[in-house]
Structure 1
Amino acid sequence: MKPPLMDLQIKVTEKGFYKGFTKNVTISAKLIVGIIIIWAVAFPESAASFLGGVNSFILSTFNYWYVYAMAFYVLTCLALAVWPASGRLKLGLEDDKPEFSNFSWFSMMFGAGIGIGMLTFATAEPIYHFKSNPSTIMGLTEGETLGNVRDAYIWSFTHWGVAAWASYAVVGLSLAYFSYRRGLPLTVRSGLTPLFGKSLSGTVGHIIDVVAVVATILGMAQTLGFGVDQFVSGLSRIGFGDWLYTVDAEGTRSVSTAAIIVSLIVIMGASTLSALSGVGKGIKWLSNLNMGLSFFLLTFFLIFGSTFFGLQALFVGIYDYIINLPWILFNVWTSDGVEGSVATQLASWQGGWNIFYWAWWIAFAPFVGLFLARVSRGRTVREYVIGAMFIPGLMCFVWFAMVGGTAIDLELNGDANRAILDAGQADQLFAMLNVMLSENLAWVMSLVVMVLLLTYLVTTADSGVLIINTINAAGDEGPKARPHILFWGIAMALVVGGLIIAGGLSAIQTAMVIGALPFSVVMVLMGISVLKAIYKDSKRQAAGIQSTANKEEIAK
């Protein structure tokens, strides 16, 4: 048995505009993203039609793949945490200590991973499933009744629970293991070295990193798209005027192009400035700020919301979720080809919810996974899995129970009078505040939500820009050339704006599902690689063979 590969040479440019970057990866990624932007803006109808067709094909053909791939990520993380030989291993050398405190570590993980979603979906998703879910489709429960609340939380917790965080955790675990124990570059290709070896220095490795960058851009576009939608809704609620929306001939209201442009300038401008300051300064400070504001908002709902109803939803929901999780992880509904049949409705529902979410988390995984690896050096594997997979999931459950539970309770007791149920997805949190509070207090709390939303958006976007540059620079975490940070900040804003103009949030969702497919294969290979590496390293240690790089090699 030989020592593992501890030297993966990735050629970077030594001078000029692309100094320190892998030109093959950087230029290829920029070209692909540029084509998406031009296509979406110049030919919006063609783009929307093509993306819709491909999306339908993927959802009907690869539904099994997405479900079983996500189950694999969950089982891999659980196995590595429970397995004593792997659970005790450090993501780094034996004397490495964590760089960040537990609070800052958790704040950055949560803020980059799902923070934005809490403000939109903690209200919107329980309310949606309260109206309709697989049980109502099968006739087992009735929508908008007390008897449908438990099923609403089973599916809300499913989409934001361990599966979401396992997809992030498996990528971060793989990258941290190979980078901080073996001294390999902190980039996606390093996670596949046990399978492909030194061939990853060339074209194969370049393709893997380009796929990761494009998936990251599309996954972040999805998240930022939801954030922009809610940001505009918040601006409207606090009195920024009617120019934020346009109304077509049929009376349908939609976000105006001017509102999209203004929102993206504010969000991406602030995030680019934060990205220029690095992880240890701007991103850390913002993460701590938005975590503090999150606890303030959550405390508000604990005190003034439907506390008993929310706590009941939390504990009963967790019990129902755990009981149903093994079935949910492997269940696939397939259409019988009959329009309107129960089987077809269930398959359509799963494509629009489970598969969509699995694709979203997968597309977001290269960004969040690499970011998790970046901030988790010195943690044990077991500590990392618990911190990256279970604690954030539990935090999501508390948000969904207290915020979404308050919304459901207000509708059930008649206080809301459908003001929340009938509001748009992005507006439901603000609508609930208006039901709960006087006009002036609702304005103040809406402003707090706006500030929190902006900090989450900025944290997500600036972290993403830094991670994209890290991949493009062959894993170099050091300072990057300012023009490249500015380019990706502008490019991300244009992707979000272009796809929204092309077809609204549905166009972003469609592009993201397509972009996630190739990276889901990479993630499965990463899971297999880290399992193989840890098993082989345990054998090496037993035989007295070196399994980690020395400190000097890692420092290089």
Structure 2
Amino acid sequence: MSNDNKIRPPLTELDINTTAGGFYNGFATSVAVPAKIIISALVVWAIFWPVQSGAVLNGFNGFILGNFAAWYIWVVAFFVIVCFLLALWPAAGRLNLGLDGEGPEFSNFSWFSMMFGAGIGVGMLTWAVAEPVTHFQSNPETIMGLTTGGTEDNIRMAYKWSFLHWGLGAWACYAICGLSLAFFSYRRGLPLTIRSGLTPLFGSSLAGILGHIIDIVAVVATILGVAQTLGFGVDQFVAGLTRIGIGGLTDAEGAASTFGIIVALLIIMGASTLSALSGVGKGIKWLSNINMVLSIILLGFFIIFGATFFGFNAMFIGIWDYLIALPELSFNVFRSDGVEGSESFLLAQWQGWWPVFYWAWWIAFAPFVGLFLARISRGRTIREFVLGAMIVPALMCFVWFAWAGGTAIDLELNGGANGVIFDASNGDKIFAMTNFMLADISAILSWAMTVMIVVLLMTFLVTSADSAVLIVNTINAAGDEGPKARPHILFWGAALAFVVAGLLISGGTTAIQTAMVIGALPFSIVMALMAIALLKAVYNDSRREQAGVPMTHDKIEGATGNGLPSGLDGTPAE
């Protein structure tokens, strides 16, 4: 028997039923309708029964944190290992995420701008200042009595933990999804949807109910993950508008009021829906380029006029501490003894608040960012993808945390801020810091800087929201990247706004966080299977290359030798 018969070409067809004509023309109603029902039910539940929904969500959240914390920690470590293995593995690293010889559609600058803006960009404006400051005051080392919160001996710990949450683990979640989707869609010719990434494990059965369930899980996780980002962003957007001088948007305690939430969402989701209607090549590309330029200007301000040398030390010493501690941090799980207030209880609680929350957030965000990354990364190699979509953005996050957060810590320790920054809410910290820095120079300049940050925040939020709407519609349309009917774009734009508003009004950002952690759990299992399937596919492709068996969909057509599409004749898909 020849090698060609032993090693068959991979699956290149997945016939997902879509509706022809009518309101759902081009959509897989088995995915679109259940996803809409689930999200609509969540909105109604959160708005009309806020107390009950809050109690139930908190109960589920406690169960997940108590029983699945280790799973979240370890599965993200697995994603990091798989990404580096694929980049360093010669047979994998040189593979094109497209047809052989195909080049990328977007320039490196536009590619990185869209990737960063949709991936983590909006979080930078909240957490680049807030997180180092928070960990500077409390972290596992302070709980164990190894360092003292709020003092210089705790600075390195603050950056070690901040870099863990925004470093390789975060981008590995995105990279796994993006690599899988680009590989199976652009090399194999399969639909650009989540289920395609599991074809090496489940084959053509994914065209049926199993595939529908996987895509529904991905849509729900995407909406909840993006809602988490928008929830933080809305709080900060309202804080910025208040700093500019627009009143009536906050309550007596300074938090965003119901009216403020509605105003912010109307602005953000209105602009994002208009951008989504224009598509990824127009609105999203231009918005991404704009927010990248504004980000560089703001970051340059912190580097030049902020804590320049403090940030430099925080950057490089922080990276060193992070990389040295990464193996332990990636696998260590704090176990509670059940005694409230004990050291082990506090450590487990802290891990649930921070690493577990972040891993759930990145996993829930991964269908959206991964599919978006796949769309903009066609024609790049796996090695280029990992370097560009994992290491470079992580370094960019480190730069932001070092100089933005470092400036805040330095101003409090040595610059006479006296709690102005530390006492502000997380969303307001960056505004409090820039206002403090510029107050003695020029009130007009301080106001102008606030306006610029608000504009930058809005472009990040709009980029995330409109990208999410397009991605959800792509999944619902069985991977069709073409134009979608306006009513469906409008529905998901409104649905996203109502999810954020409903959960914020019923329980604040904590309610969104709880819903997101719950929604991320089933998709984390899907992602683990995607990583395994990708490894299997690359390994089998290396065997096909040696045997001279075609691997890309353009070369497979007519090459199966039996008149049947590969993978549908009783042979394994991979």
Check whether TM > 0.5. yes
Equivalent residues of 2:550, 2:556 under 8 A apart? no
Equivalent residues of 1:162, 1:390 under 8 A apart? yes
Measure the CA separation in 2 of the matches of 1:477 and 1:408: 45
Residue 153 (structure 1) aligned with residue 159 (structure 2): yes
Shift of 1:141: 0.5
Q: Any idea what the Cα deviations from partners look like across 1:5-48, whole Å, max 9, x if unmatched?
A: 11110010010000000001000000000000000000000011
Match of 2:67 among 61, 68, 80: 61
Q: Any idea what the Cα deviations from partners look like across 1:258-312, whole Å, max 9, x if unmatched?
A: 1111100000000000000000000000000000000000111111101000011
Per the alignment, residue 88 of structure 1 pairs with 94
Residue 201 (structure 1) aligned with residue 213 (structure 2): no
Equivalent residues of 1:175, 1:188 under 8 A apart? yes
Per the alignment, residue 535 of structure 1 pairs with 539
Per the alignment, residue 370 of structure 2 pairs with 369
3-state SS in 2 of match to 1:245: coil
Measure the CA separation in 1 of the matches of 2:449 and 2:251: 26
Equivalent residues of 1:124, 1:428 under 8 A apart? yes
3-state SS in 1 of match to 2:283: helix
Q: TM-score, normalised by structure 2?
A: 0.95
Aligned pairs (5 A) from 1:326-345:
326-345=327-346
Name the count of aligned residue pairs.
549
Match of 2:244 among 238, 242, 252: 238
Equivalent residues of 1:246, 1:254 under 8 A apart? yes
Shift of 1:255: 1.4
Equivalent residues of 2:102, 2:379 under 8 A apart? yes
Q: Any idea what the Cα deviations from partners look like across 1:102-133, whole Å, max 9, x if unmatched?
A: 00000000000000000000000000001000
3-state SS in 1 of match to 2:374: helix
Measure the CA separation in 1 of the matches of 2:555 and 2:17: 22
Per the alignment, residue 34 of structure 1 pairs with 40
Residue 499 (structure 1) aligned with residue 500 (structure 2): no
Per the alignment, residue 435 of structure 2 pairs with 434
Per the alignment, residue 127 of structure 2 pairs with 121
Per the alignment, residue 259 of structure 1 pairs with 260
Q: Give the letter aligned to residue 276 of structure 1.
A: L
Q: Any idea what the Cα deviations from partners look like across 1:154-180, whole Å, max 9, x if unmatched?
A: 000000000000000000000100011
Equivalent residues of 2:126, 2:426 under 8 A apart? yes
Match of 1:487 among 468, 491, 507: 491
Per the alignment, residue 572 of structure 2 pairs with none
Match of 1:513 among 490, 511, 517: 517
Per the alignment, residue 569 of structure 2 pairs with none
Measure the CA separation in 2 of the matches of 1:163 and 1:521: 16
Measure the CA separation in 2 of the matches of 1:54 and 1:337: 18
Measure the CA separation in 1 of the matches of 2:73 and 2:136: 24
Residue 184 (structure 1) aligned with residue 180 (structure 2): no
Measure the CA separation in 2 of the matches of 1:254 and 1:87: 48
3-state SS in 1 of match to 2:553: coil
Q: Any idea what the Cα deviations from partners look like across 1:466-525, whole Å, max 9, x if unmatched?
A: 000000000000000011000000000000000001100000000000000000000000
Measure the CA separation in 2 of the matches of 1:552 and 1:233: 56
Measure the CA separation in 1 of the matches of 2:556 and 2:47: 49
3-state SS in 2 of match to 1:335: coil
Equivalent residues of 2:116, 2:393 under 8 A apart? yes
Q: Structure 1 residues 552, 287: closer, same or farther in 2, change over 3 A? A: farther
Per the alignment, residue 133 of structure 1 pairs with 139
Q: Give the letter aligned to residue 448 of structure 1.
A: M
Residue 7 (structure 1) aligned with residue 2 (structure 2): no
Q: Give the letter aligned to residue 280 of structure 1.
A: G
Measure the CA separation in 1 of the matches of 2:178 and 2:374: 5
Shift of 1:440: 2.3
In structure 1, list runs of 5 or more residues that go unmatched. Answer: none
Identity among equivalent positions (%) equals 66
Aligned pairs (5 A) from 1:77-476:
77-241=83-247, 243-247=248-252, 252-438=253-439, 439-476=443-480
Shift of 1:441: 1.8
Shift of 1:338: 1.3
Shift of 1:95: 2.1
Measure the CA separation in 2 of the matches of 1:20 and 1:512: 29
Equivalent residues of 1:415, 1:435 under 8 A apart? no
Per the alignment, residue 49 of structure 2 pairs with 43
Measure the CA separation in 2 of the matches of 1:209 and 1:153: 37
Match of 1:524 among 521, 524, 528: 528
Measure the CA separation in 2 of the matches of 1:435 and 1:290: 24
Measure the CA separation in 1 of the matches of 2:155 and 2:304: 22
Shift of 1:551: 7.1
Equivalent residues of 1:134, 1:349 under 8 A apart? yes
In structure 2, list runs of 5 or more residues that go unmatched. Answer: 1-6, 558-574
3-state SS in 1 of match to 2:344: helix
Equivalent residues of 2:9, 2:556 under 8 A apart? no
Equivalent residues of 1:80, 1:381 under 8 A apart? yes
Measure the CA separation in 1 of the matches of 2:352 and 2:42: 24
RMSD of the alignment, in Å?
Answer: 1.0
Shift of 1:337: 1.3
3-state SS in 2 of match to 1:538: helix
Q: Any idea what the Cα deviations from partners look like across 1:435-486, whole Å, max 9, x if unmatched?
A: 1112322111010000000000000000000000000000000000011000
